[in-house]
Amino acid sequence: MPGKRWAASALLALSLTAAGAPPATAASSAPERPASAAAATVPLEEINTVTEQVAFGLYRPTALVAPDDGTGRLFITEKRGTVRVYHPDTGLDATPIIDITSSVDESGNERGLLGIALSPDFADSHELYLAYTALPDGAVTLARYDMDDATLDPLLAQEHAENTNHNGGNITFGTDGMLYMSIGDGGGSGDPFDSGQRLDTLLGKILRIDVSRTCGDLPYCVPEDNPFTGVPGARGEIWMYGGRNPWRFSVDRADGSLWIADVGQGRWEEINHIKPGAQAGANLGWSCYEGLEVFDETQCRDDVTYTKPIFTYSPYTGGCAVIGGQVYRGRQYADLVGGTYIATDYCSSTVWALREDGSGGYDQAEIGQTPTQVTAFGATPEGELYVVNDLPGGLHRVSFERAKPTCHVEYTKRAWGTGMSVDLTITNTGDTPIDGWTLRFPLPQGQTIVSDWNTDLTQGGDMVTAANAGHNALIEPGESVTMGYLVSHTGDTSLPARISLNRDACSVTR
């Protein structure tokens, strides 16, 4: 499970009973393949996320996958060590299709059955892979499961006895047929074992192995093109390093790139996008860096190139743990979010949308909310998205709609030396009056508010909250008000990357 980084009461396990449902029936034909790699052009600010709960009664679900076998089923892992089946026509089966509770250590909030990946030939082999913390000592374990004879065959284990948190546990197959797996840094706080930057441990890493073969005494093979194969003292399974708790990552099937969401220490949540050619040996930075800030200088080295995240946000957004999602490659909403990466946060439930802008950067926006405490995304073979949430334990179908922004913001800036003034013109583009408004936007790193005008403004970390003054609370349709602020800066004079008014995303002219 993703870990909160500040003191909180432990989550309580709820006892929920699912209604029985008849077994799923096979579809008459194989599902269509996802849409092409073409990216949508609808501005992110004009997109809204909608979720519909389709199943109740899951016990702390952690991951979900969809077999490409024509049945239309979803497989959903539960923390205690069970896998449940959902079918759109028949609902959630009451009886688990897989039960490995006798092998799973579910102690603490973050241990348990954490990940599931279907063999590329699942329709014929009926084999899948499970990631879990194993009894008796919580070792993070990868195992093959044969559904025909219900056998569990452990393949790889990483000791993880000292702390119950930061297990990672995401597994998936890449476009190259290799199995990728994330493991957290060993838990505790501040990377106490310096795991992130070490190459002699699998803690704090993304692994890449070949589970279709065996090599010597290993029940898998280490690919020869892994970056540390043959390096003295290094584990050859390592594909990337410098992770803290990469709870959820995904592979974009269109180009093989990896999207890695790494849960932060308490100042920054981050998302990395790493394309083929830059993946092997990539260093995600922890614990030298948290986000874009230096966290522990003793872990920083001059001879290392660190991969910078493409998106960060702070707890001042209301978030606490980033939940990595997927690039949408379905057909139903391809015109809206095709080629767009969708993620959320366990606490704030904000839906983050990221899309390459064609100039080496990324457009970003808040495009609605998911249900509370989402733990994982999954996609059908057709590329349509679902999410599961922790407590009270549900499955939700994700859809998207186009919604005209009700606000537009135009910036005017004047920068000098270490200062910059910014004026904002806020226009009501909706059909009803806005009576009382609050803007929320992040400041680029190194910018600090000095003063403001025509607003009641506060800065918390990187986030600014700017409420109306007494004289400009009302904005009639088509009308505008102005406000502004003065900042000091350390060299970055860029404008806010996103802005919302009363929690709705605004279109922006810079």
The pLDDT score that the predictor gives to residue 3 is: 56
> Could you give the CA distance from residue 329 to residue 301 in angstroms, rounded to a whole number?
38
> Could you give the CA distance from residue 165 to residue 2 in angstroms, rounded to a whole number?
8
DSSP string, 304-340: -PBPPPSEEE-GGGT--SEEEEEE---STTHHHHTT-
Domains recognised in the chain with CATH numbers: 44-402 (2.120.10.30), 407-509 (2.60.40.290)
Q: How many CB atoms lie within 10 A of CB 416?
A: 9
Residues 78, 92 contacting (CB under 8 angstroms)? no
Closest among 360, 372, 387, 346 to 250, alpha carbons compared: 387
Helix (H, G, I), strand (E, B) or coil at 7: coil
Contact residues for 9 (Cβ-Cβ < 8 A; gap 6+):
none
The pLDDT tens digits along the chain (510 residues) read 775 333 333 333 322 223 333 333 333 333 345 555 789 999 999 999 999 999 999 999 999 999 999 999 999 999 999 999 999 999 999 999 999 999 999 999 999 999 999 999 999 999 999 999 999 999 999 999 999 999 999 999 999 999 999 999 999 999 999 999 999 999 999 999 999 999 999 999 999 999 999 999 999 999 999 999 999 999 999 999 999 999 999 999 999 999 999 999 999 999 999 999 999 999 999 999 999 999 999 999 999 999 999 999 999 999 999 999 999 999 999 999 999 999 999 999 999 999 999 999 999 999 999 999 999 999 999 999 999 999 899 999 999 999 999 999 999 999 999 999 999 999 999 999 999 999 999 999 999 999 999 999 999 999 999 999 999 999 999 999 999 999 999 999 999 999 999 999 999 998
> Could you give the CA distance from residue 268 to residue 137 in angstroms, rounded to a whole number?
30
Q: What share of the chain is helix, strand, coil (3-state, %, to 5)?
A: 5, 40, 55
* DSSP run (H or E) holding 251: strand 248-251
Q: How many CB atoms lie within 10 A of CB 147?
A: 15
Integer Rg of the chain from CA: 23
The pLDDT score that the predictor gives to residue 11 is: 34
SS (H, E, C) 58-86: CCCEEEEECCCCCCCCEEEEECCCEEEEE
| Sign of the four-CA dihedral 247, 251, 256, 257 | negative
The pLDDT score that the predictor gives to residue 1 is: 73
The pTM is what?
A: 0.93
The pLDDT score that the predictor gives to residue 23 is: 35
